[in-house]
Amino acid sequence: MTSTLPAATSPAPQDPPGLVVPEGHVKLTIDGVELTAPKGELLIRSAERIGTAIPRFCDHPLLEPVGACRQCLVEVEMGGRPMPKPQAACTQTVADGMVVRTQLTSPVAEKAQRSNLEFLLLNHPLDCPVCDKGGECPLQNQVMANGSGHSRMVDTKRTFTKPLAISTQILLDRERCVLCQRCTRFSDQIAGDRFIDLLERGSSQQIGIATDQPFQSYFSGNTIQICPVGALTSAAYRFRSRPFDLVSTPGVCEHCAGGCAIRVDWRRGEVTRRMAADDPQVNEEWNCDKGRFAFTYVGLDDRLTKPLVRNADGVLAEASWTEAMSAAAAGLATARDSAGVGVLTGGRLTVTDAYAYAKFARLALRTNDIDFRTRAGSAEEDTFLARHVVGNTPETGGVTYTDLEQAKTILLVGLEPEEEAGILFLRLRKSWRQHGSRIYSVGAVKTRGLTKLGGILVPAVPGAEPGVVAGLADSPVGEGLRAAHAVLLVGERAAEVPGLLTAAAQLAESTGARIAWVPRRAGDRGAVEAGALGSLLPGGRPVDGPAARAEVEKSWGASVPDRPGRNTGEILAAAAAGELAGLVVAGVSIEDLPDPTAAAKALAGVGFLVSLEIRRSAVTDLADVVFPVAASVEKDGAYRNWEGRDRPYDATITGKGTLADARVLDTLGVEMDVDLYTQTVKAATADLQRLGAFTGPRPTLAEVPDRPTRPAVEEPRGFLLATWRMNLDGGSLQDGEPYLAGTARAEVARISAVAAAALDLTDGSSVTVSTARGALTLPVEISPVADEVVWLPGRVAGASLASTIGAGHGDRVHLAAATTKGGS
Amino acid sequence: MAMSDESPTPAAAAVAPLTPVLTRRWASPRSWTIGTYEQLDGYTALKSVLGGPSPANPDQLIELMKNSGLRGRGGAGFPTGLKWSFLPQGDGKPHYLVVNADEGEPGTCKDIPLMMADPHSLIEGCIITSYAIRAPFCAIYVRGEAIHALRRLTVAVNEAKAKGYLGKNILGSGFDLEIVVHAGAGAYICGEETALLDSLEGRRGQPRLKPPFPAVAGLYACPTVVNNVETICSVPPIVLGGAEWYRSLGTEKSPGPKIYSLSGHVTRPGQYEAPMGTTLRQLIEMAGGMQGGIPLKFFTPGGSSTPIFTPEHLDVPLSFDDVAAAGSMLGTTALMCFNETVSVPWAVWKWLEFYKHESCGKCTPCREGTGWLVQILRRVVTGEGTMADLDTLADAASNIAGRSFCALGDAAATPILSSFKYFRSDFEDLVTGRTAPVVSTHDLVGAH
């Protein structure tokens, strides 16, 4: 690496081979083994590389060293002189010529480690038989391997009240704690949520929380996983099983577009817990609490297990698959042949499932009326997706997590990472903390999440973002974006503001910054790739491009409709107006839609409604045929995360007899005389891969985008509403997990101090937010927002703003101090 | 015990001299006021540094300290001038001086009397030191319990400010300095310099990982000098008297005068300022001999954290190197003298109670070990110990020493290890019942 070898190498091999020390490396000896190590490497890591595990508790490769537990003491010799005391291998960095003796060769190190274990056990309770950690406990393992079978401690052990709930989800057992500070360091360094810290001192030292502030972090579950003892346990999992009775299966999280690798632990056909799996390129070793704890929705009482068909009496009754298939096929064929059928897929599907819907719509229903979005969509977004998103993957040079970590400037548009993409948030924080990136965010509120990214707010009131983004080109932000390693991250919410996606794309193009799109749901990106969109066929082929269409037709051996399809809002409007005779709906909550009232009316009024769902919902209640489908954990598949990275996984829970959407559609297709070839994930993937990515020209950005689909709200004056969905907000995939729900952020309305004073409101007092469609009341939190802006969480008391006040981002709402009786 | 051959010390004289340098103003009326201080050479060193037509060269001041051979008075004896020279210059970061006035080592009583009797000497030292290391800000971290010293120091800072010795453009030199007198909250660990810095920053006082050392990343991650009160107070006399004069006192490797704190069973306990290298025999003589003529049994040369000495060490010159050569540490020259009526296990137990109470909790050996040692010692002093307990004590103490994160763990193990070296039989006698329990179990109720 440092220099090229002379061309004429000696015929005899170099003997002894001798260690080549690359540039920036040093040579050292550990237990008699010579090795090289990069400068600055910690001894404990160097030892790992030669297969020597030095025991440790506080050390964690992703946390800054602390040297607190003293379990990893080794003997070190420098320049022929032994250091007077054993050194902690987790804090001692390598040096040239260093000679290290671990417990394997040094009696001093061995005794230091053995006696340290004795110290740790002095006050440790003999809880192992009832401890959640028993069987997978680093302390237990250490003691079993290297500890003494006999205790010299005959005095009274230290006791604490236990467990202590430090949040609704996390329970703390201070007796078991070895005070390694992994949890506090994680919360401080990785998550930025310093809600837990050391309290007291000496042998009274303990982990704790402030009296008035629980451990309200979206990432708190990670502390359980990295706790080297059973001090931190989860309320949900406590006493539920023993690790050695569980089967661990790798999986991929279904909750957001992050694509976290997870480990699913299960037994007897039921998931007992989920952990973060180690994937350095994506989630490192972390995940968010939603990804960790929200899995109980699969087994709730409203789970659908059998097909339902609306009978002659208009009652939805259980039916056989055959019966349901023929009813659905007949109904859909009739609807298709009258006014046509539209498809709404919801955005939670795997790539192959989305592909099945895309193909089913084109071939069986002969329409392009398919949309994966449950939110506002627009032609502008379609163009943006086709130009800047579809087909971009890590392989083709798309923006990756690693790129973000190395980035110098990052601009966020319409994206609140902590709430909308948890693991992305952690990586952005790492980028700022470890690599000093500058993070800017265009928005109305300087959130705590942005503060935790060291971020700078580029203020823009709702609706004004396009102008603000356009103006950034000639600002310090633009300068940063023009430099190397600059990334623009655009959230899916950008589509809510007409012109914003275009402005962002233009800024990226004019500055040369790379751009990536971050949707909110796990299936969104895959749906774009698979063609679950009115304007795009699989592989990003434009419907209105004859050559692109021909490619698809050739591969599918069937003709594809040439009229671009309608988006979600238009499909629902068409259904309500009788311009569509049928709908196929998968995984859509009515209240997630921009206009739930109209949507419910459309679904109720449409001639024929087929629903594919895992649980009963407002949609299944209105359907003519309901097919139960497999939940994420019950099927094979893949999510495409925001990077465009394929995240394949195999089914964890099998044998329940549930079928994936693609399988159901495949059979339904046969029933309608169409072959989808999506019966298995393998077949569907092959079918999709045969198509490949579109290589033709991408569309250009329109100058004047059209308005997104949201009904106008008749509120001439008042506050501009800024809003987004929170990480934990009672969404349907969080059902059945009350401990997790308890760690959700308080629902508040954020207004400026000036606005509060004008309305005679104080911090914490109740405000009623109203429109012509409705009102809701919640506490005020005085925040640094523009005086004409009010920020609300996307859902309040379990209901979306669209369903309660019929308003969304950028709409005008009215504010008033709540009367004592509260809002309407 | 042989004297160091290379350095004939003043202590070799038959009558030990008192050398009041740091303590010379202590007996003057209202010595703590700026008026008295100025009458007795106060701020003349500062004026010689900053008051001339062109201020002194800071590097020359650092050189002066190096030449004087002044070694840190906080216990470790690190060369002061060398420490100052470690600060990177021209690095664009602010530099800080932090004075460690968290005097808490059992037996140590020099910094608080110094601050009470002569606070301005500390302030003058701070100004000169800050100027030398180019620090615009100095914090004096005073032990929380020493409210009296804190108040006196605060008043003195205000007096100095009013006179133009502090603040903007001191004595027309263009040098600015603010001094903040900060009260700790009474934690022994905050005398450890990195824990002190964390505490000063408003964090939990626990020692930091080193490196980086404070000279590179100290207060607010900026280059920082942390010095003991007595060290800084030595600066003005050195500036006035010169390095050669300073070296004329004390031993070659430990020059200068030193405030020895004598406590325990001596006739007149107190602070005795004498040249480095003075022996305890000489100091006891100055203090009027042992109380009631009862012979000395053991003593600490530098506080409870230093291995104990016995009468055979009475003639060890009390300098950094001589004490180290004899197997202990000079520490803070806190000479706790115990006569033959004192039970060694009792004293060790009391010390261990202190270390258990003061362990910060950061690392395992100190946090868990001190608590365990105390539990065992309580049984030993109440006559309920076993011989196995004594082995456990010795082994556990050796498992703490050198294994803890900071020196506090070493310090906690020291009383046990050193007392076992000389007085193990005293412990055994308690176990076997040869001597009666020194404490009744009743007395231990609620002990902490």
Q: 397-426 in B: which are within 8 Å (CB) of A?
A: 399, 402-405
* Count of other CB atoms within 10 angstroms of residue A523: 28
Rounded CA gap, A611 and A664, in Å? 11
Question: Any idea what the CATH number is for the domain that residue A468 is in?
Answer: 3.40.228.10
What is the Cα gyration radius of chain A? 29
Instruction: Find the helix or strand (DSSP H, E) in which A618 lies.
Output: helix A618-622
- Token pair listed for B404: 């803890």
The average confidence (pLDDT) of chain B is 94
| Helix residue ranges per DSSP H, B163-294 | 193-200, 214-217, 229-233, 235-247, 280-286
Question: Any idea what the CATH number is for the domain that residue A206 is in?
Answer: 3.30.70.20
User: Structural domain tally of chain A?
Assistant: 5
- Residues A677, A539, single domain; the answer is yes
Looking at the complex, report in whole angstroms how far the Cα of residue A130 sits from the nearest Cα belonging to chain B: 24
Rounded CA gap, A60 and A138, in Å? 13
Distances, alpha carbon A212 to alpha carbons A166, A207, A231, A764, B433, in Å: 11, 15, 22, 15, 54
**Scanning every residue of chain A, which has its alpha carbon at the shortest distance from the alpha carbon of B401?**
A85
Is residue A706 a part of any domain in this protein? no
Cβ A727 vs Cβ A218: under 8 Å = yes
Last residue of a domain, one of A468, A491, A519: A519
Question: Any idea what the CATH number is for the domain that residue A745 is in?
Answer: 2.40.40.20
Last residue of a domain, one of A67, A91, A118: A118
- Residues A631, A571, single domain; the answer is yes
- Residues A283, A329, single domain; the answer is no
- Cβ burial, residue B246 (10 Å; 0-12/13-18/19+): buried
Helices first, then strands: H and E counts in chain B: 17, 8
**φ and ψ of A815, to 5 deg:** -120, 145
Q: Is the peptide bond before A459 cis (omega within 30 degrees of 0)?
A: no
Q: What are the beta bridge partners of residue A371?
A: A344, A533
Q: What are the beta bridge partners of residue B259?
A: B273
- Of B360, B368, B405, nearest to A119 by CB-CB distance is B368
Residues of chain A found within 8 Å of residue B413, distances taken between Cβ atoms: none
Mention every residue, 6+ apart, whose C-beta is less than 8 A from residue B251. Answer: B4, B7, B9, B275, B276, B277, B317, B319, B321, B322
Q: Under an 8 A CB cutoff, do B372 and A65 touch? A: no
Q: 301-360 in B: which are within 8 Å (CB) of A?
A: 356-360
Task: Determine which of A118, A184, A189, A206 to mutate to test the interface with B (most B C-beta atoms within 10 Å).
Answer: A118
**φ and ψ of A207, to 5 deg:** -85, 145
pLDDT at A380: 92
According to DSSP, residue A727 is labeled S
* pLDDT surpassing 50 at residue B92: yes
Is residue A406 a part of any domain in this protein? yes
Rounded CA gap, A56 and A235, in Å? 27
Angle between helices A138-146 and A107-122 (to 10 degrees): 130
Phi-psi region of A268 (alpha: psi -120 to 50; beta: other; left: phi over 0): left
Last residue of a domain, one of A464, A484, A519: A519
Give per-residue pLDDT as tens, B390-438.
999 999 999 999 999 999 999 999 999 999 999 999 999 999 999 999 9
Rounded CA gap, B370 and B412, in Å? 7
B368 touches chain A (CB under 8 A): yes
Mention every residue, 6+ apart, whose C-beta is less than 8 A from residue A72. Answer: A44, A54, A55, A56, A59, A88, A89, A90, A113
Looking at the complex, report in whole angstroms how far the Cα of residue B205 sits from the nearest Cα belonging to chain A: 10
Q: What angle do CA A70, A71, A74 make, to 5 degrees?
A: 90
The count of CB pairs under 8 A between chains A and B is 98
Rounded CA gap, A768 and A776, in Å? 6
Looking at the complex, report in whole angstroms how far the Cα of residue A722 sits from the nearest Cα belonging to chain B: 37
| Mean pLDDT score, B40-58 | 93
Give per-residue pLDDT as tens, A611-668.
999 999 999 999 999 999 999 999 999 999 999 999 999 999 998 999 999 999 999 9
Looking at the complex, report in whole angstroms how far the Cα of residue A55 sits from the nearest Cα belonging to chain B: 14
Q: B111, B399, B230: which is closest to A113 by C-alpha?
A: B399
Cβ B222 vs Cβ B87: under 8 Å = no
Question: Where are the strands (E) in A480-636, listed by range?
Answer: 486-491, 514-518, 536-537, 541-542, 582-586, 608-613, 625-628
- Residues A243, A353, single domain; the answer is no
Question: Where are the strands (E) in B307-357, listed by range?
Answer: 334-339
Residues of chain B found within 8 Å of residue A156, distances taken between Cβ atoms: 375
Residues of chain B found within 8 Å of residue A70, distances taken between Cβ atoms: 363-365, 403-405
- Of A84, A112, A202, nearest to B358 by CB-CB distance is A202
Cβ A789 vs Cβ A719: under 8 Å = yes
**Scanning every residue of chain B, which has its alpha carbon at the shortest distance from the alpha carbon of A158?**
B371
Confidence grade of residue B9 (pLDDT, cut at 50, 70, 90): very low
Residues of chain B found within 8 Å of residue A122, distances taken between Cβ atoms: 368, 371-372
| Mean pLDDT score, B227-234 | 98
Instruction: Find the helix or strand (DSSP H, E) in which A355 lies.
Output: helix A351-359
| Mean pLDDT score, B290-294 | 97
- Residues A643, A785, single domain; the answer is no
Is residue A208 a part of any domain in this protein? yes
Ordered domains of chain B (ranges, CATH): 20-243 (3.40.50.11540), 251-339 (3.10.20.600), 344-444 (1.20.1440.230)
Residues of chain B found within 8 Å of residue A198, distances taken between Cβ atoms: 204, 206, 361
Is residue A172 a part of any domain in this protein? yes
Residues of chain A found within 8 Å of residue B362, distances taken between Cβ atoms: 68, 179, 205
Mention every residue, 6+ apart, whose C-beta is less than 8 A from residue A185. Answer: A60, A63, A64, A66
**Scanning every residue of chain B, which has its alpha carbon at the shortest distance from the alpha carbon of A71?**
B364
* pLDDT surpassing 50 at residue B31: yes
Q: Under an 8 A CB cutoff, do B209 and A65 touch? A: yes
pLDDT at B443: 80
Instruction: Find the helix or strand (DSSP H, E) in which A276 lies.
Output: strand A270-276
- Residues A531, A630, single domain; the answer is yes
Q: Under an 8 A CB cutoff, do A67 and B405 touch? A: yes
The residue length of chain A stands at 824
- Residues A453, A559, single domain; the answer is no
Distances, alpha carbon B313 to alpha carbons A527, B257, B304, B317, B341, in Å: 85, 21, 16, 9, 19
Q: What angle do CA A426, A429, A433 make, to 5 degrees?
A: 140
Rounded CA gap, A345 and A523, in Å? 9
Is residue A446 a part of any domain in this protein? yes
Rounded CA gap, A387 and A163, in Å? 54
- Residues A554, A683, single domain; the answer is yes
Question: Where are the strands (E) in A608-754, listed by range?
Answer: 608-613, 625-628, 637-640, 646-649, 719-724, 749-751
Residue with tokens 């719509």: A361
Distances, alpha carbon A308 to alpha carbons A323, A361, A505, in Å: 9, 22, 46
Rounded CA gap, A237 and A256, in Å? 23
Residues of chain A found within 8 Å of residue B361, distances taken between Cβ atoms: 179, 198, 200-205
* Count of other CB atoms within 10 angstroms of residue A137: 20
Q: What are the beta bridge partners of residue A475?
A: none
Looking at the complex, report in whole angstroms how far the Cα of residue B368 sits from the nearest Cα belonging to chain A: 6
Residues of chain A found within 8 Å of residue B206, distances taken between Cβ atoms: 198
**Scanning every residue of chain A, which has its alpha carbon at the shortest distance from the alpha carbon of B368?**
A119
Q: A529, A516, A632: which is closest to A262 by C-alpha?
A: A632
pLDDT at B447: 59
Instruction: Find the helix or strand (DSSP H, E) in which A100 lies.
Output: strand A98-101
Cβ A549 vs Cβ A543: under 8 Å = yes
- Residues A394, A483, single domain; the answer is yes
Residues of chain B found within 8 Å of residue A71, distances taken between Cβ atoms: 364
Q: Under an 8 A CB cutoff, do B371 and A158 touch? A: yes
* Count of other CB atoms within 10 angstroms of residue A134: 15
Is residue A704 a part of any domain in this protein? no
| Helix residue ranges per DSSP H, B30-135 | 34-39, 44-50, 58-68, 80-85, 111-117, 119-133
pLDDT at B14: 44
- Residues A567, A670, single domain; the answer is yes
Question: Any idea what the CATH number is for the domain that residue A360 is in?
Answer: 3.40.50.740
Q: Under an 8 A CB cutoff, do A70 and B403 touch? A: yes
Residues of chain B found within 8 Å of residue A69, distances taken between Cβ atoms: 363-364
Rounded CA gap, A652 and A510, in Å? 46
Is residue A20 a part of any domain in this protein? no
- Residues A275, A211, single domain; the answer is yes
| Helix residue ranges per DSSP H, A92-220 | 107-122, 138-146, 182-185
Is residue A3 a part of any domain in this protein? no
**Scanning every residue of chain B, which has its alpha carbon at the shortest distance from the alpha carbon of A110?**
B399
Q: Is the peptide bond before A307 cis (omega within 30 degrees of 0)?
A: no
Mention every residue, 6+ apart, whose C-beta is less than 8 A from residue A705. Answer: A378, A379, A380, A498, A499, A501, A502
- Residues A591, A674, single domain; the answer is yes
Mention every residue, 6+ apart, whose C-beta is less than 8 A from residue B343. Answer: B381, B426, B430, B435, B438
Angle between helices B364-381 and B344-358 (to 10 degrees): 150
Q: Find the domain containing A804 and state its range.
A: 719-817
Confidence grade of residue B54 (pLDDT, cut at 50, 70, 90): confident
Enumerate residue ranges in chain A where pLDDT < 50: 1-15, 705-715, 821-824
- Of A65, A86, A122, nearest to B402 by CB-CB distance is A86
